[in-house]
Every structure is written in structure tokens, then in C-alpha cells.
Amino acid sequence: MIDQAGAAITNWLASAHDTPTRARREFDVGIALVPTGTKFDAIRLPAPVVHAAAGSSAPEAVVAFLAEGLKVGAVIHDAYGVGVWYYALVPPGTYDHWRVPGVECLAPGTWLGVPRLDFLSRPGPHWALPPRAVGSVCDARAVAALVLRGRDRLDVVPGAERTL
């Protein structure tokens, strides 16, 4: 059961969909497909870069790092399959100005699997850093700094695989 604040956040996330009631029904099952570009954009971050920036791949350490570095933002961890990604929700319009090579800001209208607010651990997509309020997005500059820190650490770690 989600509280009033959780319901407001869910409604905000669902409002990005052309049919918010459909998105809310999808949240009832677990994961809603929501297009980027109206309420938020999303930056897809390779897990090795996030883990290098955090100095750890341990979930608790990564969450603590994201909470410290991104403050009030929201980050989805998609842990399915071979490709493991994090998606930082950022303000709409970020796509037009994102210039960090090798790290994609999803084009407006890209469908993103957004987990229900109580999905906080594996398996599958879950919130590494859940939104705490309506409009909780990461500062794109803070996300860029995270990427640069992770890349720098990957460049100096012997045997680390360069993913970008």
C-alpha cells in the first residue's frame, strides 16, 4: 500500500504517458512503459561506469554514492540480462543539450520501463534511488560529473574493461 506522497509520485510518473490510467494499471502489475521527454528525460549509464565512480558494485555502496552525489534525483537500475544499466531521470529538455560522449540521453518519446515505487531490489528493474517527491529528477551536471569520475577511474584501474 502506498501513501499519499507515493500516490502523487506515481501519478506524476504516469502523467508522462498519453494515457495515464494505462500507466497506473501497469504500475499495479509492476513496471509501466512511460515515454521520456515530457515530465523527465533519462540518461542511460553503463553499470561499470557507475560502479567505478562509486568505487564499488555492492548495491548498498552504489545507492549511498548515488544518494550523496545526485541528492534529490531518481535512478532506475535495470539489472536484466547481460547489459546492466542505470537510468538517471533528468529534467525534460536535457536531451537537447546532452554532450557527454558515449553516454546516451534517451530521445524524447523513447519508452522507458519505470518500476513501481516499492520495487527497490532485484530481480529486474528497480529503483536504485527512488523519487522522493513529484518532479524528483537528477541535475544533469551531477550525472555528467558521475560519468567523468567513473571513466577516469576505469582508465586507471588495471584490467578494467573500458565500456565507453
Give the mean pLDDT of the chain: 91
Top-confidence range, 33-42, 94-103, 148-157: 33-42
Distances from the Cα of 47 to the Cα of 14, 20, 44, 50, angstroms: 26, 30, 9, 5
State mean pLDDT over 19-42: 96
**Percent of the chain at pLDDT exceeding 90:** 83
State mean pLDDT over 130-140: 96
Evaluate if residue 78 carries a pLDDT over 50.
Answer: yes
pTM of the model: 0.91
Q: Look at residue 155 in the predicted model and tell me its pLDDT.
A: 86
Evaluate if residue 1 carries a pLDDT over 80.
Answer: no
More confident residue, 71 or 137: 137
DSSP type of residue 2: -
Q: Look at residue 160 in the predicted model and tell me its pLDDT.
A: 45
Evaluate if residue 88 carries a pLDDT over 90.
Answer: yes
Evaluate if residue 113 carries a pLDDT over 90.
Answer: yes
Across the strands, what pairs with 31? 115
Evaluate if residue 51 carries a pLDDT over 90.
Answer: yes
Backbone angles phi, psi at 115, to 5 degrees: -75, 155
What is the widest separation between alpha-carbon atoms in the chain? 50
| HEC secondary structure over the chain | CCCHHHHHHHHHHHCCCCCHHHHHHHHHHCEEEEECCCCCEEEEEEHHHHHHHHCCCCHHHHHHHHHHHHCCCEEEEECCCCCCEEEEEECCCHHHHCCCCCCEECCCCCEEEEECCCCCCCCCCEEEECCCCCCCCCCHHHHHHHHHHHHHHHHHCCCCCCCC
